Structure formats: C-alpha cells, structure tokens
Amino acid sequence: MGVVSSFPPVARSDALVCVLGSMPGRASLDAAQYYAHPRNAFWPILESVLGIPRAAPYAERLERLKERRVALWDVLGSCAREGSLDARIKQSSIVPNDFSSFFTAHPLIRTLFFNGAKAETVYRKEVLPSLPEQFRSLRLVRLPSTSPAHAGMRFEEKRKVWGSLEWALDENARRGYYECRSIF
C-alpha cells in the first residue's frame, strides 16, 4: 500500500465556489492532471454545465475553470491507498489539506461541492471540526461522484445534479459577491 499525495489547488483569489474530490486516482496521478481517467465524467459534465471544452488542452481547461471563479482541490493532502478506489484508503493514514490557509487566501468562497461521498465524509470528519469558526458556515453540497466506479447513475442524471454548480455561481452574482472584496 503506497502513500499518494494530491495536487496543489487550482484557484484564483476571487473564487466563489470550490469543487473538492477525495484523492486523485492512479490515472490522474500518472498524468499529473485532475480527473485524467478517460471514463471519468468530470470534464464532460463541466463542458455541459459550464461550457469548458473537455477536448481543450488541460492548462486551458484549468484557466477556464478559474475564469468561471471555480476552485478545484482535494480534501486529502496524502493517504495510503492501494489502487485508485476511495474504499481502499487506509483511514489511519489520512492527512487532510490545509483548509484554514486555503479559505484565508480565498475569502469569497461560499459553497463547497464534494465530488462524491468520500470527499464529503472525510471533510466533515477530518477538516470541519478543526476549522476556525469563521470557516464553518460555508454551504456544503455533495454531488454524485464523476468516477467511472460510480456507475449506478447515468451521465445525464449526474449532469443534472451537477447543474447546481452553475446555480451557485449565479446566486453569488445576484448577491453581489462578484463585486465584494475582503477588507481584512
């Protein structure tokens, strides 16, 4: 069972929402790219929901994501895991990412979207209790996993639920978060 580490966050300081996975799978780690497995539905869903072309070069997709004010990261900084499945993560090996520093650097984030149950479960158990009070009131939304291992839901059903990402961005715009800046 090897120790694996996640990637740095993809985010501008003016991000409004953050999509959190658990830990990149083997194909993503080998390619050094978020959601690189060819059957992972993440980029096809974002193409449908946010208009980010899945066939665009990876760096361009990340830039388009940041332009839409969406941050992308993982809950886990490192863990021991055999293979790619979340179920194979050794619980005692979990080291979460530093969310206090992340939220301080990204003060406009209002909603966290979890790509699957494992990301949400680990965040609630390992991250949330240790956060300073000012970071505990973010909206937490679990979305269906885009992993090919989560085959119990058709693509169109996943895409429909993932549409809440666009809704959250629109809601933040209506509330004026696009214009707001931290004064601290």
Which residues make beta-bridge pairs with 115? Answer: 143
Rounded Cα–Cα distance for residues 115 and 51 (Å): 19
pLDDT of the residue at 86: 66
Q: Residue 99 pLDDT > 90, yes or no?
A: yes
- pLDDT higher at 150 or 92: 92
List, for residues 79-93, the tens digit of each pLDDT value.
888 776 666 667 777
Q: Residue 118 pLDDT > 80, yes or no?
A: yes
pLDDT of the residue at 1: 66
Confidence category of residue 174, pLDDT binned at 50, 70, 90: low
Q: State the chain's mean pLDDT as an integer.
A: 88
Rounded Cα–Cα distance for residues 125 and 144 (Å): 19
The amino acid sitting at 110 is R
pTM (2 d.p.): 0.89
Query: What DSSP element (H or E) covers 54?
Result: none
pLDDT of the residue at 180: 39
Classify residue 55 by its DSSP letter. Answer: T
Query: What DSSP element (H or E) covers 160?
Result: helix 155-162
List residues with catalytic annotation: 40
Q: Residue 107 pLDDT > 80, yes or no?
A: yes
131, exposed or middle or buried, with CB in 10 Å at 0-12, 13-18, 19+?
A: middle
pLDDT of the residue at 135: 93
Mean pLDDT over 20-36 rounds to: 92
CATH superfamily, with its number, for domain 2-173: Uracil-DNA glycosylase-like domain (3.40.470.10)
What are the extents of the domains in the chain?
2-173
Q: Which of 43-52, 55-64, 159-168 has the lowest mean pLDDT?
A: 159-168
Confidence category of residue 181, pLDDT binned at 50, 70, 90: very low
Q: Residue 101 pLDDT > 70, yes or no?
A: yes
